[in-house]
Chains A and B, each alone.
Chain A
Amino acid sequence: MQLPVINNAASEAPKGGCSAGSCGSTDDQMNHLPEHIRQKVFNHPCYSEEAHHYFARMHVAVAPACNIQCNYCNRKYDCANESRPGVVSELHHPDQAVKKVLAVAATIPQMTVLGIAGPGDPLANPERTFSTFSQLAEQAPDIKLCVSTNGLSLPEHVEELSKHNIDHVTITINCVDPDVGAQIYPWIFWKNKRIKGREGAAILIEQQQKGLEMLVAKGILVKVNSVMIPGVNDKHLEEVSKIVKSKGAFLHNVMPLISEAEHGTYYGLTGQRGPTHDELQALQDACAGDMNMMRHCRQCRADAVGLLGEDRGAEFTMDKIEQMDINYPEAMKMRAEVHAAINEELESKRLAKEAKVQLVSIQGIQKKEVTRPVLMAVATKGGGVINEHFGHASEFLIYEASSEGVRFISHRKTIPYCEGGDTCGDGESALDVTIRELAGCEVVLCSKVGYEPWGPLEAAGIQPNGEHAMETIEEAILKVYEEMRVAGKLETKADEQQKVA
């Protein structure tokens, strides 16, 4: 059985007619986009699922002030071990930030994108944000610039944004209904006043929508982030998705609420829970339609550095950067070579995929057996291959294999089991945490897995598999899925068969 790699196709859910998967097409997320957009995002790790295995990004924390309050944010919190938006260890002035970007870009040539994402709102700090951008546009023209905003002061800055060689803007839009907004935003600062409740939310929503329209009119790509808050906006986000899509946003990223009590946020302290993996996935699928959904967002720190999912920030503290001697024009040459090599690799992968599809269609689609979908977890350090030890993984990428092919679903964070110490609160061991996080997965693929976790994993119904080290993720998944099929492990359950028939 030949299976295509769906690679997060935009319209995974077969809604009658011809979905990307059932035709055996290998269209990946990016192929759905017009060429000029593809060109803008193919090497942007946040916008392209494929690119995120190869290209890195960094954020600089130059924008500490914020002009709204969100119930999931607490401005008092800063923890070096936390990875989530709004958290930073070192705040930079624009000149320092520029130095840091040059140092990182020279050291990590895979870095293609510099984003400003807070810790407050970049557009509530326009001088600091734009000073950083204009210096970089001049000194490091090979770096893409992007910005994330809550949207409140977006309309007044669209003109300026378009001058700074900014291809992408991310707007966090959690609602289009002020009654929903009132449950998310306690206040906004607007025209020299603090405006609370529904009235504030209404202004924020209006500004966000206006900003979105203005950016689209300027030809700037807009990604919309939404935080899924069960019982607050979960039912509402499908409508948000429809509206922003109709206005021209090109990617929607529905992210789970993070609300641990120890973060001290309103939601954390009032017991508002985040969504489960299943709830998040169901909403992402519901929003998908023919809109691109982003599923690999890591909700990074506002000072994150490196590939998504890794954080090399500690290598680039200000005192370390002061010691570095950076010749950027030289670095730029090296960067161009590295980028060309990655592009070549991606291109040859794409061609190989295409060749495979042709083979399938030449042979004629054999009567495809409908087998049940299986979730598999993968430990990877990047490069699109299985290259991380089970015990060292701080996150797993989750893929779904089915008779339609392989698609990327999400990532799940965990505590590296080898470093986790014996317990991490509540008497739960790091291994227990990982096993709990991997719930629903039937296989975990890694470069190596030790003897000790093997038993507990199997007992939890998760088959550890270290046989595909250094293989391409999708191909290894297909092989394992095929093995499961041959072993008779994929028979469609009777009730599901009824659904299909």
Chain B
Amino acid sequence: MALEIIESCVNCWACEPLCPSKAIYEAKPHFLIDPNKCTECAGDFEDPQCATICPIEGAILNEDGDAMNPPGSLTGIPLQKLAA
């Protein structure tokens, strides 16, 4: 059970201080989650904190590899505009 940060992360530092398990660390070229430490915030918070503050759609994946914040979900930008 762990979330994953992928390359679209912009290294904004928003998630790192929020992680109750200290699973997130600064790395190059982008931040990473230590899968052995990540608890998906179970027991600490209702929502996984990193995915709840991350401003970048698609930067954080769940354990199935799906975007926690799919395209359009945060910005409201219509999908056809995003594709353009």
Contact = CB atoms under 8 A, between A and B. Distances in A.
Interface of A: 64-67, 69, 71, 75-76, 91, 120, 124-125, 127, 186-187, 189, 192-194, 266, 269-270
Interface of B: 8, 10-14, 17-18, 45-47, 49, 52-53, 55-56, 74-78, 81-82, 84
Given A76-B10, A120-B12, A124-B14, A193 B56 contact: no
Contact of A69 (B11, B47, B74, B82): B74
B84 to A, nearest CB: 8
5 closest A-B pairs (Cβ-Cβ)?
A65-B14, A269-B81, A189-B53, A65-B13, A75-B55
A64 B52 contact: no
State the main secondary structure of chain A at its contact with B: loop
B49 A270 contact: no
A75 to B, nearest CB: 5
B12 A192 contact: no
A193 B47 CA distance: 7
A67 B52 contact: no
A266 B49 CA distance: 24
Contacts of B14: 64-67, 120, 124, 189
Contacts of A71: 75-76
Contact of A192 (B8, B49, B78): B49
A186 B53 contact: no
Contacts of B10: 75-76
Contacts of A189: 14, 52-53
A65 B12 contact: yes
B13 A64 contact: yes
B52 A270 contact: no
A16 B77 CA distance: 47
A192 B15 CA distance: 11
Given A76-B56, A186-B74, 20 more contacts: A64-B12, A64-B14, A65-B13, A65-B14, A71-B75, A75-B12, A91-B11, A125-B13, A186-B76, A189-B14, A192-B45, A192-B52, A193-B47, A194-B47, A194-B52, A194-B53, A266-B75, A269-B81, A270-B77, A270-B78
